[in-house]
Structure 1
């Protein structure tokens, strides 16, 4: 290689190392700014320790084996090849010293490439060495579950590495021998390898088959992680056929090892081929055919009798894997009488019925509180706060800055990096309050934010959020845009500790390299007090610190002590928990960590929410100081912890099958449950878990819970409901309430059907859902109240040319009654009045809203409908046209009045039509 070429290679290598080192250093500064420099060094040293170990092992193995081929390369028995090489510049390198150097460099380079695989095994290696025991012994091999979760994955990866190393070396040395030594005719045989080469490759093959024997041993343990017929994990066939087959294959592999070693001293190649052929035949016969015959002719005819003990193992381990073994079940009547007095007693529940569906509410927030085109609400969260001393469920969202919405000419480097640096404020509204125009009532909103109900927002700036993307630089000479006020903009300067200080030209250069942006280095706006913020997206930020956790997709905003925080649920998961049924690619899950991120400073705190989870305890052992006890979380922040929807959804999916703990019932699936469907915006979808404030049976006070209903697999009536508790000392408890199996409690789809079949409701919904408007039926809420069940569904109306849905009606269903009224209070009173409650009960004078009568021949004051059916029909057409005109003009109040008038006409029309029918009947 010429001097110039060598210089170019050296420059490229040096530049690559500089870029790599600068990336590491800038990451280190970021970790240290957050107080997690020890995590950076822990991961860095672990990765490189494991990589260097793999590099060294691979290098020594490859280099030593290639050294055995050196004499062949030096002497080069292939005379034709030798003559060609000697005639070129390569001829001068055919010396023992230079060939040794070449083999050394080649082995070093190739092993370094392969070592990148071992670098990814650092966490498995640490878990292998530091794993905490579960205290749960498997019933087959009598090993703790930690062996399968922490040790077996590493052993499997180690086998893959060693076997790959062996096969690669065999192929490489075989090529050397074959090229350097052409086949020769010895008597009547064609010899492909010299004696030395045969011995060498026999030894390498013996090593490979020894590893294969170890592979069969690992596969025995992996039977506990294999899918069976009707359940996950080993069954009768696995234990009586597959396990013995693996032992047989293991001994055959060891026999081949012995034959290969024997072949080093005495040439018995035929015996080796016989051994390999025996292994292949045994793999087919005892490894495949024999287990199939056992399953088909012994197990299948009487499967339950043979599989019952193994099925019990699967049930028990699956319940433990998803933390369902500690679940509390209670009976729930479901059909108890419910009167107005019961609703008064359950005021905590009724006052917090979630009328606002998060999807139309998100549109409403963006329309009413977006303020400017560059602000966006990307997600609506549900939480609870004390408003004027009352425990209230609310919905809230962060007003985030979306830089992509800036005008094209405004997307300059100064604007994107120095001026439009942060989002601003939040919007909050109670879940059950509605204005006369069908819009939410805000307790926090606008810019700058107002706050009512006893809440305060002292730091509305959000530098770290859900869509905070590229880096920004704060504390520069350019003032930061804070918020608009009339025709002017209000500016600010950052006063927090977030971001890495850009002290000196060195750091500017490093971050200019990191982000490939020379302006960081050259801009005169950046001072020594400036700070660069990156990794600002909440999920990206926390995953950078602890990538071994699985994170929820939905961080939620919390207002605490006047500051804004993001709370993100993190999970410990495994794919190798013994005997446990996998769901979504995992078969073990715990909500073991709550992550809190300061929206202003970007500080991140990991709280250990499940201190008995062996997986999180193992991580805490690997990373001492990373996790804090949940008791150390500030009390006000802890009051906003939620049972995560993701976790409850998975637990509900599992429990729908694994509530059947009797193996006979489980096998026949006679009590299989499912998550019911509901109707949303005209289409059907599975019911999502939803938060509500509810007074649980036997409890004195209402509390914030996450609930989801169940129905039988083949029917629509409700069979049970599950609740995850969120408040105080009860946080994390999981409850299941069972309805009587001999009674029919309506499920969500049955209520949806009853709504569709109600003549008055369906007529009115169809009337609204004409051209120019769109009806959106929100989530159907199933609310347990006083050993009974109440169903509530909001109805939204959205004009075709508008993105502003308005809540116009509330549907309430209870047992055999379905009503739709303008408000929840009216719907409740109407529903229980329709059930035959005395007028004095249904229309108490001290109630603020009177129910609208549903079946009466008397018209409302001011409305004198004609006495005949044709006149009523004509009047209905006129009112309908007036309603359409109001809708076209955007007069929602007038539109609602016309619809109420039309409803009265339709009721009267239905009454007269029914009376006419009765008169004509014989």
Structure 2
């Protein structure tokens, strides 16, 4: 006879209890500290309603679902124990179980409560993570649109379907654990026997277990019924489309209904035949076998047969209706249904003679690449080694001197890793903030390829001077900022700051900025941000929260001390509105004199019926996104709206959420969940803030990815796939997609220039150009346009044109020479621009020395127009003028072998006319005035010089026509002398690089 299991001693039991209590207290302590600190943080940003709503929702879900699952399991375990047989037959099997019964019986209630409580605990912890699903379910808002199959409002799929799915999962969990636990107890106490004579199961055990099995089968019936709606979220068997196709609608949908009814019949059969009639498990077993066989035959084999023998032989005819459903739903779900598609012939092969000033697209051509010149900003504008700019700068537009154009902008932040004395006090209480908003026109370079800075100057050192003493920056701050201090920024988000300490002289103790004559300046934070930590108890709290004893030991604290944390603008918005998907590129803007971070927030859903489902993090990847060591977790999306524009004050940290798409049902539901106090109405967006809102980049990337296929709106076209597009690869980084570019331009069919986001698209698996896509805001409303090229044209795409332009003999020779002379060649953004019924391409080339850490400077520009005219020049102005000279016969076209004297048009010598010579002289003078105005940063003088240049070009063209004897044999009369190349109005924006 085996000895009973050894019982735990009293001392051992006490030890276990103490350890359990210590573990529980340690876990709770960490959570309580975190909750308390969060409450103080939410109080600081004045969003305590978010904190309380989320906390109470998670707490109630933890308690309700944890208690429900625990009680169901405990009830079934207790029932199995209470209905145990009082007498058990003697057998070796029962004898072997005696030792376990003796171990459990003295404290059976405790064991039942412990097991059920543990499962309930994990169920509650899981449930509180589904708080968003509950809030959407309980605040469901109608879409006002129905699905194509069941004619049910879309709110069911977006708000209710996910929570019903979760509830079913919880019910299955409770029933399965109850069944397993009850079976184990019935077996342990003799209610179920595997050996010996007589019945294998007592009446009570059979009734209990079959009731649980029947409940499981009934839940399966409910799951089959819900699966019917879920079919509208499935993927097509053969096409990369989502929704219920022919097979799903005509085979799988009725199969689910049949299986639901079979499940109900089987559940009833299990109860009736097990307990009322035969009182054995033969018929219930057969019923379960029938259900399994039906699931395989009706739910698997039959739909597969329909797909193989009915759909595949004539797929287009069978699936056309469902293709159309998916196309329409996808375009609606992602806001593609309002895209304006316009033809663009791009037939012009020669550039116009007035190309340098033909329209505002050319005069605003962007040369500075924000992904390249971040290092340039840092080295030229940092002054001290611990200052830093984001490596990927931002693009925004400002109006200076009456002219609106795009600027490359960034803020000067602290790089804590570069502090010479990187101790706790310096890191957290001395170097607390950055300083200054730095901007430069995106279409202007000076002083051998450097940006022309117009704001954010710390000292004269941040106003570069050229080799010959010329000014390379504005002498005054053209974008005035009333509060230039940066306490909240992208580079400082992980480091908390302690403010409020007084300096030795009675002033502030925080390093503010260096000055040229007065030495280093110090200040003290006076903003409203931060949590007060003047009291000992607050410091004790944050010592535990940050796990930092200096909160208790350091002398930097006083009664006025505050701690500023969660300082990354994106993190602040995410903490306040965790349901939003945030754009990956927040950008700073000066709004009413204050530096504001603007963050785009999206409402998304993965359960929009028939809509294409994609992985958000994959869709927004291109050559401009930061590569990550570990990929982001998949985030499925089938619905997208840019519903929120958020701002974060760089000084105070104040977060404001504005409803940008007030018609979005998801935003309405969330706002309702938080008492209609979470977001401000769109009318609260000031005019000055509206001026800096831009079409968000991540949304554009997702939309262009989808439009590469869903610009095709007919089932026939979609089935063939012949007209599908793709995002071209970036010529500077052929392994990644080309990013979209923000530019100020006036594209065809647009009444005036706009600040817009543009991209090129190529036919699938081909390199030429298929379309140009742009998105912008017009009067505050999003406008999405596509310029579609005729399919019979072969306009070169970005990668092809990059190869063509770098193949120019001089370019190839110099680029090779640069690379061999210890210089790194960096290609900037290659712009594809529709100009004068043709296509203009511009690609800047940056150089920097490999051996030392020099910053990139723009040294060369590649330009091309149409298939034949291309140039490699020192400046954009020179390049555009060279294209005109090639088109008018004054210069050979590269690669044609044309040796015509560049100064003599083939049709004669119109330059002999006094009127022509006078016009040339006027153009040269205007060019000189343009350069002088650009160097001085005098926009008014620049405008006068530009007008004089345009007048001179007009006089030159008129005089050339009059002087040319035979128009049929002469070149285009718009030929300009080489000096006029500098007159490109883009030189307003691009005065150099020299050399």
Q: Does the CA-based 8 Å contact 2:833-2:840 persist in structure 1?
A: yes
Change (3 A) 1:87 1:151: closer
- 2:350 corresponds to 1:332: no
For residues 793-832 of structure 1, give each alpha carbon's deviation from its aligned partner in whole angstroms, at most 9, with x where no partner exists.
1111222213321211111111120011111111111111
- 2:199 corresponds to 1:148: no
1:525 maps to which residue?
Answer: 556
Distance, in Å, in 1 between the alignment partners of 2:637 and 2:16 is: 51
Q: Does the CA-based 8 Å contact 1:335-1:745 persist in structure 2?
A: no
1:535 maps to which residue?
Answer: 566
Q: Does the CA-based 8 Å contact 1:471-1:536 persist in structure 2?
A: yes
Distance, in Å, in 2 between the alignment partners of 1:105 and 1:715 is: 65
Aligned ranges 1:761-772 → 2 under 5 Å? 761-772=811-822
For residues 699-736 of structure 1, give each alpha carbon's deviation from its aligned partner in whole angstroms, at most 9, with x where no partner exists.
44311011112222143332221111135x15411111
2:210 maps to which residue?
Answer: 202
CA positional deviation for 1:213: 0.9
- 2:717 corresponds to 1:665: yes
1:443 maps to which residue?
Answer: 454
1:587 maps to which residue?
Answer: 638
- 2:602 corresponds to 1:571: yes
Aligned ranges 1:727-742 → 2 under 5 Å? 727=778, 729-742=779-792
1:708 maps to which residue?
Answer: 759
Distance, in Å, in 2 between the alignment partners of 1:254 and 1:361 is: 68
2:743 maps to which residue?
Answer: 692
- 2:496 corresponds to 1:471: yes
- 2:815 corresponds to 1:785: no
Residue aligned with 1:31, SS: helix
2:330 to 313, 318, 325: 318
Change (3 A) 1:78 1:777: farther
Q: Does the CA-based 8 Å contact 1:438-1:808 persist in structure 2?
A: yes
Change (3 A) 1:193 1:313: same
CA positional deviation for 1:696: 3.2
1:747 maps to which residue?
Answer: 797
Q: Does the CA-based 8 Å contact 1:826-1:849 persist in structure 2?
A: no
Q: How many pairs align? A: 847
Structure 1 unmatched ranges of 5 or more: 852-893, 898-922
CA positional deviation for 1:842: 8.5
Residue aligned with 1:286, SS: helix
2:260 to 238, 250, 253: 250
CA positional deviation for 1:738: 1.9
Distance, in Å, in 1 between the alignment partners of 2:104 and 2:301 is: 56
Q: Does the CA-based 8 Å contact 1:421-1:473 persist in structure 2?
A: yes
For residues 251-276 of structure 1, give each alpha carbon's deviation from its aligned partner in whole angstroms, at most 9, with x where no partner exists.
22212211221113341311111122
CA positional deviation for 1:197: 1.1
Distance, in Å, in 2 between the alignment partners of 1:12 and 1:78 is: 44
Aligned ranges 1:780-859 → 2 under 5 Å? 780-802=830-852, 803-815=854-866, 816-836=868-888, 844-848=923-927
For residues 580-616 of structure 1, give each alpha carbon's deviation from its aligned partner in whole angstroms, at most 9, with x where no partner exists.
1112231111111111000111111111111111111
Change (3 A) 1:72 1:697: same
2:367 to 338, 347, 355: 355
1:385 maps to which residue?
Answer: 398
For residues 148-200 of structure 1, give each alpha carbon's deviation from its aligned partner in whole angstroms, at most 9, with x where no partner exists.
111111111111111011101111111111122176589866x4432211111
Aligned ranges 1:81-480 → 2 under 5 Å? 94=105, 99-100=108-109, 102-181=111-190, 184=193, 191-228=199-236, 229-230=238-239, 231-262=241-272, 263-266=274-277, 267-336=279-348, 338-341=351-354, 343-346=356-359, 348-378=360-390, 379-407=392-420, 410-447=421-458, 452=476, 454-468=478-492, 469-477=494-502, 479-480=509-510
Q: Does the CA-based 8 Å contact 1:429-1:441 persist in structure 2?
A: yes
2:703 to 626, 648, 651: 651
1:879 maps to which residue?
Answer: none
1:47 maps to which residue?
Answer: 58
Q: Does the CA-based 8 Å contact 1:771-1:800 persist in structure 2?
A: no
2:523 maps to which residue?
Answer: 492
Structure scoring higher RCO (CA < 8 A, sep ≥ 6) equals: 2
Structural RMSD (CA): 2.8
Q: Does the CA-based 8 Å contact 1:78-1:179 persist in structure 2?
A: no
2:683 maps to which residue?
Answer: 631
Distance, in Å, in 1 between the alignment partners of 2:641 and 2:328 is: 17
Change (3 A) 1:15 1:292: closer
Q: Does the CA-based 8 Å contact 2:456-2:477 persist in structure 1?
A: no
Q: Does the CA-based 8 Å contact 2:416-2:427 persist in structure 1?
A: yes
1:21 maps to which residue?
Answer: 32
2:667 maps to which residue?
Answer: 616
Residue aligned with 1:444, SS: coil
Distance, in Å, in 2 between the alignment partners of 1:227 and 1:767 is: 53
Q: Does the CA-based 8 Å contact 1:387-1:453 persist in structure 2?
A: no
Q: Does the CA-based 8 Å contact 2:864-2:883 persist in structure 1?
A: yes
- 2:87 corresponds to 1:37: no
Mean CA deviation greater in 120-129 or 320-329: 120-129
Distance, in Å, in 1 between the alignment partners of 2:158 and 2:774 is: 29
Change (3 A) 1:613 1:457: same
For residues 550-570 of structure 1, give each alpha carbon's deviation from its aligned partner in whole angstroms, at most 9, with x where no partner exists.
111111111223221111111
CA positional deviation for 1:502: 1.5
For residues 739-777 of structure 1, give each alpha carbon's deviation from its aligned partner in whole angstroms, at most 9, with x where no partner exists.
233433332223123213322322232232224112222
CA positional deviation for 1:324: 0.3
CA positional deviation for 1:105: 5.0
Distance, in Å, in 1 between the alignment partners of 2:110 and 2:283 is: 38
Change (3 A) 1:16 1:284: closer
For residues 663-717 of structure 1, give each alpha carbon's deviation from its aligned partner in whole angstroms, at most 9, with x where no partner exists.
1111111211112234116x46422110110113344431101111222214333
Residue aligned with 2:217, SS: helix
Change (3 A) 1:118 1:442: same
CA positional deviation for 1:370: 2.6
Change (3 A) 1:416 1:74: farther
Change (3 A) 1:657 1:185: closer
Q: TM-score, normalised on structure 1?
A: 0.87
Change (3 A) 1:735 1:185: closer
Q: TM-score, normalised on structure 2?
A: 0.81
Change (3 A) 1:183 1:832: same
Residue aligned with 1:783, SS: strand
Aligned ranges 1:869-884 → 2 under 5 Å? none
2:647 to 590, 593, 596: 596
Distance, in Å, in 2 between the alignment partners of 1:563 and 1:34 is: 18
Distance, in Å, in 1 between the alignment partners of 2:527 and 2:121 is: 44
For residues 462-499 of structure 1, give each alpha carbon's deviation from its aligned partner in whole angstroms, at most 9, with x where no partner exists.
11111221222111245111223469432110010111
Residue aligned with 2:645, SS: strand
Change (3 A) 1:674 1:571: same
- 2:511 corresponds to 1:481: yes
Mean CA deviation greater in 52-61 or 213-222: 52-61
Q: Does the CA-based 8 Å contact 1:500-1:531 persist in structure 2?
A: yes
Mean CA deviation greater in 364-373 or 237-246: 364-373
Distance, in Å, in 1 between the alignment partners of 2:447 and 2:229 is: 66
Change (3 A) 1:268 1:471: same
Residue aligned with 1:330, SS: strand
